[in-house]
Amino acid sequence: MPRYHFHIHDGVSIPDPVGRELPDLAAAQRVAIRFAAEMIEPISDIWSGHEWRLEVTDAHGLTLFLLDFVGTLAPAAQQHGSQDGSTR
């Protein structure tokens, strides 16, 4: 099975030297989406324009795809008094 590496970039690069064996690119995309959700959920400053990227490469370091995230509150959301982006 091919090996995929999931590297995090959020102002600091955190490489994934071990990677994970997965059956195909579609499986790597599913894992990347779940992994990204777990990683960005606790980032408190995501709504202040904090940029976060997940780069997925093959075993040779070739970039296969990227997931980029940045949260920006619109002025209307700020008028509602929610600074964390929640809809309480």
Q: Taking the CB of residue 55, how many other CB atoms lie within 10 A of it?
A: 19
pTM for the model stands at 0.79
85: amino acid identity, one letter? G
Q: Which residues pair with 55 in a beta bridge?
A: 7, 66
- If DSSP codes are grouped into helix, strand and coil, which group holds residue 20? strand
Domain coordinates of the chain in residue numbers?
3-79
**CB 28 within 8 Å of CB 55:** no
pLDDT digits (tens, 9 = 90+) for 54-83: 999 999 999 999 999 988 878 887 777 655
The long-range contacts involving 15-23, CB below 8 angstroms and separated by at least 24 positions, are 19/59
- For 6-24, what is each residue's pLDDT tens digit? 999 988 999 999 999 999 9
